[in-house]
Amino acid sequence: MIVRLLCAFLLSFLITLYITPLLIAVAHKLGIVDKPDGKLKKHDQATAYLGGVAVYFGFLTALALLFPFENQQFLFLVGVTLLLFIGLIDDLIALKPYQKLWGQMIAALCFLKAGFFLREHFFSYIPNIFISFVWIVGIINAFNLIDVMDGLATSVAFMAAGSFLVAAIMYQSWPTAILITAFMGALAAFFLFNKPKARIYLGDSGSLFIGGFMATVPFMLPWGTYNSYGFLTSLIFLMIPLLEVGTLILVRTYKRIPFYQGSPDHFSTYLRVWGGWSVRGILIYSTILSLILLGMGILFFLGFMSLPMFMVSGGLFILFWYLILLLSLYK
């Protein structure tokens, strides 16, 4: 099975590595580029979109050759494909926020229809569905919001996916592990073109696709095997994008602007502009935090960390997160 996992990773990696330069050329030729505007978009030059197509194509091709598809997985692919196309339309003609939200909600319903929702016994069916729906839409938007810096969304998604892969292997959920390794292989290849200075961006097509994938993967794992509260591990593995959403809502509410309206209040922007951090420094910082979260998650879902200790550790992590942001602002 390990050989099959490696094949899934390498196949998606090589396909994405091959197709990404082609899509860069196509994007520039057709004018599908992100142009700097001096306000929210301050990169040096027009940069190709279509990165999401590269990641999706490498991922899907590897799955087509190695993954045992069933009806549930088909509906999962319908959902992530829908998100890809919604994002692609937004990259081309700029959808309004409510239009994007409707598309995300339809994709979330596809995931729920496929059976990807919370199944914990201490919640009844309707609350489980509602919580799952809010979770899916929230994580989709979290990765859309965090995609504001070269390589950030790609690296954060790669590390979070790696955390879920560790869990899948420990649970011996091999189909889910194959799904994740194919996803990680595509991300790893794309990062070579998306790292500073990026030659291509994910675009909304990529960030929405990645968000949909990361929102759904937690529902594929049997968290209750070792710990009845094991499903809370997903909160830890995805803490960075969740904190990004929470921070943006707080700051934009304080500034009296709609939470969905763009503003330079992302954590990476604070660290870079106010704190003087380099882009590479922020990527390393987020990677280290992801490894800490992985360790916390493993200790918790294996039962080596009690629920109160888990909550205290999560609270300390959040305090540290905001402390670093505040120190950057008042540097």
Task: Kindly report, residue by residue over 288-329, the tens digit of the pLDDT.
Answer: 999 999 999 999 988 888 899 999 999 999 999 999 888 877
Which tokens sit at 233?
A: 């591990």
pLDDT digits (tens, 9 = 90+) for 22-31: 999 998 888 8
Q: By percentage, how much of the chain surpasses pLDDT 90?
A: 53
3-state secondary structure of 84: helix
3-state DSSP call for residue 149? coil
Question: Which tokens go with 302?
Answer: 């294996």
How far apart are alpha carbons 219 and 230 in whole angstroms? Answer: 12
3-state SS string over 243-290? HHHHHHHHHHHHCCCCCCCCCCCCHHHHHHHHCCCCHHHHHHHHHHHH
pLDDT, residue 76, reads 87
Please state, in angstroms and rounded to a whole number, the distance separating the CA atoms of residues 234 and 241: 12
Write out pLDDT tens, residues 212-263: 999 999 999 988 777 778 888 999 999 999 999 888 888 888 888 877 777 7
pLDDT value at residue 187: 97
Q: Give 72 or 159, the one with higher predicted confidence.
A: 159
Give domain limits for the chain: 2-35+43-329
* Per-residue pLDDT tens digits for 85-106: 999 998 888 788 888 899 999 9
Q: Are residues 146 and 240 in contact, defined by beta-carbon separation less than 8 angstroms?
A: yes
Q: What percent of the chain has pLDDT over 70?
A: 94
